Structure formats: C-alpha cells, structure tokens
C-alpha cells in the first residue's frame, strides 16, 4: 500500500482542547515522516497557505459572526465564504482521503467536498457532543423538578446522539479514542471503527520539571482543563469540604484552565490557586508540582490531561465514565472511582505518602510506553479500510 495523500480538516487547531492537541501532533507526525498531508483549519491569522516538504497548511480566518461555544472555541456560520479557496486547494493537492473530526464548519466542508469530489471520507470522534448538550441544559433543568429534568436530559442526549451518528455515518471509516466508543459507533453507523488514542510528550511532561522543595509536605491536588459544567468541576468544592470533615487540612488545589464555572469555584474553594491557562514550561512545572491529579469528568472521550499528569509522575483519580478509566490503572497509577469515592481515595494517599510515591513511579513508567508515532501509525493502518485499492 502506498502512503495515502490525506487532507485533514479539524474542528480546532490552535485552541486548548483534546481535538486541537491531537491535531497539532498529527501535523507534526506528518512533517516528521515527510507524508503528503494537507491541513485546512481555522485560525486568527489572515488567509495563509504554507508548504514544507510534503506538508501543506491552509489557515482561514473566522468571521465576526462566529458564535462562541467556549472561551476559545467558535463556530462560524459564514465560513462558506471560503468555499472556492478550499475547493481550489483540494483539487490542487488531489487527496486520496479526507479526514474530519466532527460536525463543525470544517467537518461539514470536509464531508461536502468528499461527496462532491468522490473522495473517501474518514471521521474521528473526539467529543461526546450528545452528553455535552444534555449537561449544558443545567440553566433550565435546575429550575424544574428532578424527574422532569432527568427526562429532558435523556431526550436531548438521545436526539443529539442520533443526529451526530447520522453525520458520522457519511464516513467510510471511523476513529474513536476508546474501545467503548468504537463499539457504539460501529453499532450506530455500521462503519468500521479503529482506535485513535492520544500520545504524550514525555520530555515536556516529566517529574524533572518539579520545582517544589522536598521539604514541602502540602498535598497539592491538581486539575487541568476547561472549567465547565460537563467536566463536573463542582465536585472539587465537595472534595474540599469532605477532606476538611475528615480532619485533613494540609492540602491545596492547583486549578489550571478557564471556563464558565471559574467564578463559582473561586467563591466556594478556600484552599485553591487559579493560575489560569498555562502553556509550555509553565504548564510543565504546574503538572510536576502536583502530588495527585483529580479529574471528575464523566464525559471526556480520552483525557489528554490525565496522560500528561501521569507522564509528570502524578497519579490520577478519575471516574468510571468516559475514556480516562482506560488510562488509569486502578490502585496502581491512581484510582477509578465514583464521585463519592474521590474523598476516600485522596485521604488514603494523604495518610500514606509511601504508597503515593510508589504510584508516582508507576504513573511515569506507564506514560513512557505511550508515543504519538504509535498512535498515528495505527491511524494510517485504518485508512486501508477506506482505501483498499491503494
């Protein structure tokens, strides 16, 4: 099989989220291996086209009509104004396959041009849009009875899942970050699904970046990510109260990120630092200075931040919902537990620093076995389902 020419149209690229993080590493992989690869993405720079060896990038600006979905994530209903330039670059590049990451404006364009130019389509599932849609109804559901709220959330989640899987069924081959999602997609779309997990830079995220004194006995509980309702971050305030009720007071939270729930967390947490969004060396040091990573989300499909924490030598406590449960080895590199189990898990390590040290070593060892090259090698193997003639 010759190396396919891939046109990649991701939902986001420069933002701080799992799709953007994966997309940046996918482009870096293509550049490292001199693969024929075209990345068409939205950005803040004026219309730009660049070519480095076999790698080409086309960056297009969103309009002022773009709708904010998160602080750093938008959807532009006027993106169709770029139709001609996207068509031109696709015709010039002559891809064997178009790969999209979801039902964004870029994903819609990718699906349309795959149909128009009779090119096979691949689609990777990165976000549980249906669960996000249900969680973000909290502004309404908290004003109605619990039975009515549960019924409404269930209907919204089911209808959102139906619509999203119909979109994904346009693709010939699918990708998802964990086996549970792959099985769901195969059943809903009748398309083959391959794993597209996440890798980690074990040099950037390493215990070597720790700056805290060895004499500092404070237990630093870390969180990195969006501060939004679907991340279940309200649990962090309950953790603080639960630990104090047990008489455990020698701890602090280090909460990295931003989002709509930030003000509420600032008001309810008395032992927390909020440095905002960190990047580069600052983020590396923040991870390494944590002792335990607490990630209460039930909706993440993978959990890049969990893997980055493990690589930094920081064990993690995660829920059994979503993808992080596939990263953390329960009782070895952290804990997989219900919301109610977070406080006992944290308390156990607060009182047994020897076990915490063992988990830190095991977490780092696990992360060292992960690599982005292995992740994207498997993606290219999966393209064979869509391109049997190559």
pLDDT by residue for the chain (390 residues), tens only, comes to 689 999 999 998 998 788 888 999 999 999 999 999 999 999 877 677 777 778 999 999 988 888 776 666 777 889 999 999 999 999 999 999 999 998 889 999 999 999 999 999 999 987 755 455 555 556 556 777 777 767 767 776 777 778 888 999 999 999 998 888 899 999 999 999 999 888 899 999 999 999 999 889 999 999 999 999 889 999 999 999 999 999 999 999 999 999 989 999 999 999 999 999 999 999 999 999 999 999 999 988 888 899 999 999 999 999 998 889 999 999 999 999 999 999 999 999 999 999 999 999 999 999 998 888 888 999 999 999 889 777
- Beta strand residue intervals within 303-365, DSSP E: 316-318, 334-336
Tokens of 318: 């995660």
What local confidence, expressed as pLDDT, does residue 130 receive? 47
Fold: same for 6-199+372-385 and 207-368:
yes
**Distance (Å, whole) CA 386 – CA 121:** 8
Domain residues of the chain, as ranges?
6-199+372-385, 207-368
CA distances from 270 to 118, 228, 236, 237 (A): 58, 19, 11, 9
Residue with tokens 């976000």: 127
Q: How high is the pLDDT of residue 71?
A: 61
Gap between the Cα atoms of 263 and 228, Å rounded: 11
Per-state percent for the chain, helix, strand, coil, to nearest 5: 45, 20, 35
**Which of these, 32, 27, 38, 49, lies nearest to 4 by C-alpha position?**
38
pTM: 0.73
Superfamily of domain 207-368: Glycogen Phosphorylase B; (3.40.50.2000)
Distance of alpha carbon 241 from the chain centroid: 29
Phi, psi dihedrals of residue 316, rounded to the nearest 5°: -130, 145
Closest CA to 100 of 47, 164, 162, 16: 164
Q: Which CATH number fits domain 6-199+372-385: 3.40.50.2000, 2.30.42.10, 3.50.50.60, 3.40.190.10?
A: 3.40.50.2000
């Amino acid at each position: 099989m010759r190396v396919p020419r891939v046109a990649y149209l991701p939902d986001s690229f420069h933002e701080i989220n799992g799709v953007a993080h994966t997309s940046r590493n996918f482009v870096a992989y293509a550049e490292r291996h001199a693969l024929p690869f075209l990345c068409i993405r939205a950005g803040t720079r004026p219309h730009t086209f660049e070519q480095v060896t076999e790698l080409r990038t086309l960056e297009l600006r969103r309009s002022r009509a773009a709708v904010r979905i998160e602080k750093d994530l938008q959807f532009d209903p006027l993106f169709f104004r770029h139709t001609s330039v996207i068509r031109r670059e696709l015709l010039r590049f002559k891809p064997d396959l178009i790969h999209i990451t979801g039902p964004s404006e870029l994903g819609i364009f990718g699906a349309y041009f795959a149909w128009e130019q009779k090119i096979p389509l691949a689609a990777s599932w990165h976000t549980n849009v249906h669960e996000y849609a249900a969680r973000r109804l909290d502004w309404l559901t908290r004003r109605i009875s619990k039975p009515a709220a549960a019924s409404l959330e269930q209907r919204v989640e089911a209808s959102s899942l139906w619509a999203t899987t119909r979109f994904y069924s346009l693709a010939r081959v699918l990708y998802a970050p964990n086996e549970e999602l792959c099985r769901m997609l195969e059943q809903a779309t009748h398309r083959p699904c391959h794993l597209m997990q996440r890798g980690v830079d074990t040099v950037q995220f390493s215990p070597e970046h720790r700056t805290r004194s060895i004499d500092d006995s404070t237990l630093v509980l870390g969180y990195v990510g969006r501060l939004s309702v679907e991340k279940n971050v309200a649990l962090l305030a309950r953790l603080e109260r639960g630990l104090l009720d047990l008489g455990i007071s020698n701890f602090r939270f280090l909460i990295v990120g931003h989002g709509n729930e930030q003000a509420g967390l600032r008001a309810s947490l008395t032992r927390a630092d909020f440095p905002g969004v960190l990047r580069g060396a600052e983020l590396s040091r923040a991870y390494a200075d944590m002792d335990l990573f607490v990630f209460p989300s039930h909706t993440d499909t993978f959990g890049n931040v969990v893997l980055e924490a493990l690589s930094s030598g920081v064990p993690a406590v995660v829920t059994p919902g979503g993808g992080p449960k596939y990263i953390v080895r329960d009782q070895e590199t952290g804990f997989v537990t219900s919301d109610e189990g977070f406080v006992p898990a944290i308390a156990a390590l607060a009182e047994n620093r020897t076990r915490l040290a063992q988990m830190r070593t095991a977490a780092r060892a696990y992360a060292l076995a992960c690599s982005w090259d292995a992740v994207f090698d498997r993606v290219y193997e999966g393209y064979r389902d869509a391109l049997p003639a190559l």
